[in-house]
Structure 1
């Protein structure tokens, strides 16, 4: 009888040990498939990318080690965004007064409700809405348990604070707003066209020969390239390749229109952009194109 009692006690102790171990393992959180190991069941520390902006008002990732308490992942990331970067060349776009009113993750979708300070911030008031939103979205989607984010402000859909033409649905990681220093002719043209498509005409204009001329203004450029953007908005630029013909340097872009409903791709033709090579690693897009 005593041996049977000892056996039951032993089994009970083993079960308690298993439950305790599982409880500790459950505090491991993953970011990009890598685990952050918790020193205690309620906290863990992990390296992640927090997105700030540079002088061009484009996103730049800064690597940070953040400590997260229990289920306060979203709070920890927002705190880092509000604290700002360590790099003096970068700037934070989330004001200190921004608060989380509610947050919930369901099936890898984060439902995030923020306080009104978000849309009263300096960057938001200057019109850099996407930069503000994607500094949050790109930082939070570094974690494997968040793929999409629905943002509300004071309980209202974020679209209530945007122009009608900029209506958005769920937000996911966006690399078109991330700053990349173009180093090759292909990079220059791709970056130039990306700036046009995200309506950063100021940055696109600075990459052209027209920026050093008194014959054209940024308004002239914006007027023509906004029309160009409207024509190309439904197309995807693919397979760019560099062409040299004597002293002429150009990049040829192939365009495709993809009907995702019927899974059909249509040829959208090709387009050639000529470049002025000012030095070995500095290129300007020749504009206006009538100069070709």
Structure 2
């Protein structure tokens, strides 16, 4: 069968590296051999996959779809092999995309548990905005993602946990005087701080601002949850934070006072998401269970 699985692997590696020389080095073959194999694959497919130039190898329009399908075929082969060993996704490498508002706080404990129980497992983590996670999953650059399910239609989704939203307030803010939940009208006229519009959280906060007659300032767009927390601590607005971050990081640092926001739709669901298939990849339930347990353990502290 042409192209061969090895040639599909070569196509994906060149696409990932962007250069034939670097791909050959990572594949431990000579660059002329790699070029020959890529040329044969292109001939068998009847389409040029890469544009070759001084600045490296870039995918052609046809190449984008070819590499996407090649990734899927290689993943299917990995799953076939894993079904025999019984290790599923833990028999090899898993490229996991995560929201920056989740990854640094949820994954350390999970990674420790998984590597303890599955020593050969290699987890490659990429922190990206919601829109980039969607593109990476569709293109096959990511095997699975941790994200908000409504932003990834037509995928296979395993719900993990729900997060309420919390307000981070400067200690001298009048709203910080009690620990009771905040009703939307308590935020009327206030500046609500959030991260950029490529994140689902931004849309949730914009909806909250409309409901509470508050506003999201145009002059400041946070690049991270830590950045908007620091702004709130300085009295420059109310930072709206998801519960996981509030429990694992904001409360630990202690420069703001945390109060839960009690308003409709002020929560988000996080799911483990993978490309559409007849059934989840083997081992998905183990990974989902570890993620869900760790998230709930952390959030129970708030």
Q: Which has the higher contact order (CA 8 A, sep 6+)?
A: 2
Same fold, TM exceeding 0.5?
Answer: no
Scaled to the shorter chain, the TM-score interval is under 0.3
Greater strand content: 1
Rg bigger for which structure? 1
Give the TM-score, by structure 2 length. Answer: 0.22
